[in-house]
Structure 1
Amino acid sequence: MEHEFRITRTSREICDRFFDDYSLEQLNKVPTGFNNNLIWNIGHIIVSQQILVYNGSGLLPMVREELMGKYMRGTKPEFDLTQKEVDEIRSLLFSPVERTEQDYYKNIFTEYTERKTQLGFTLSTVEDAIAFNNYHEGIHFGMMMSLRKFL
């Protein structure tokens, strides 16, 4: 599992660079032909990891319920975020991943409710969820790479 956690940390480091490379306006911009923006994708990967790993294990996520509602699957940006809101999202890039790794090695994930993802993957264990999360983050990173070309 160390390899999976290393992949997640690297993914988050790449996402973190977007905060330095793009302005608040660019992070919020929804280009023509897209239904989301850079900051929504970052918020979405944070929330999705919590849903996949913690909710799937019957545990409470570390992310506020309000954020869960704004960035879960099926949502889209409803308004531009303030710098304070962007800073909050940035602050959540690493701490939930670090906590997940700690919790994993403390063996707190004792059960997992099997589910099939929208893409057709069956997740039967927390290990499946962690691995799938890396794949999911890769998809959204690809979307972010496309979005940035239109900023």
Structure 2
Amino acid sequence: MSNSTFQFQTLDLARDFLEHYVKNVSESEARVIPKGFNNSILWNIGHIVTFTEKEIFGDTNREMKVPDSYMEMFLRGTKPADWIAEPPTLQTLLAQLAEQVSRIKETFHNRLDEKLSTQRSSPTAEKPATVGELLVLLCFHWGLHVSAVNSINRIIQNAKNSNEERS
């Protein structure tokens, strides 16, 4: 298996986990911010879409295909409490995520060695210098937010089940 196949399969796996965790989440549940959390399921998915778009397409000087409003709603340091505009729906974000993964594969399937146009910060000592290296970090980043989505969803579902048991 080539590195590109592995990296793209890992991206698919992260998306599949995310879709599994939210398959029964309602629009209103996606907006819940449980105690102890700063953000919702909707914010985490919007953050994945926006951050990935900015990093992989913006930093390789390609057209970004998310609305400008996403930058104000979903990048690091933002939170739903500060939103002025109406956010996209959960289904819109999931559709954009699926389309984004397809574009990443189509655009970069033979370009993993392409140099990035800017140096970026990284949680590792080494900074990603190529698209392939960036994809590895993006998969890690997705995993963090997929885990947050799963945790938030479990809290919501447990609260819902507790309320049903009391009824």
CA-to-aligned-CA distance 1:97-130 (integer Å, 9 cap, x gap): 111111113649844122222x245111111111
Residue 43 of structure 1 contacts residue 71 of structure 1 at CA under 8 Å; is this kept in 2?
yes
Q: 1:68 to 1:116 in 2, by over 3 A?
A: same
Partner of 2:48: helix, strand, or coil? helix
Opposite residue 71 of structure 2, the aligned amino acid is M
Larger radius of gyration: 2
Q: Distance in 1 between matches of 2:65 and 2:142?
A: 18
Instruction: Verify: 1:135 aligned to 2:140, yes or no.
Output: yes
Identical residues among aligned pairs (%): 21
| 1:46-70 deviation line (CA, Å, top 9, x unaligned) | 1111122112212222222212321
Aligned counterparts, 1:107-146, within 5 A: 107=111, 110-112=114-116, 113-117=118-122, 119-120=123-124, 122-146=127-151
Question: Which amino acid is 1:23 matched to?
Answer: S
Q: Note the aligned Cα RMSD (angstroms).
A: 2.4
Question: 1:23 is matched with which residue?
Answer: 26
How many pairs does the alignment contain?
149
In the other structure, the counterpart of 2:95 is 91
**Further displaced range: 106-115 or 88-97:** 106-115
Q: Structure 2, unaligned stretches of length 5 or more? A: 157-167
Gaps of 5+ in 1: none
Cα distance between partner residues in 1 of 2:64 and 2:112: 13
Aligned to 1:129, the other structure's residue is in SS state helix
Equivalent in the alignment of 1:75: 78
Cα gap change, 1:127 to 1:43, in 2 (>3 Å): same
Q: What TM-score comes out, normalization by structure 1 length?
A: 0.86
Query: What's the TM-score, normalizing by structure 2?
Result: 0.78
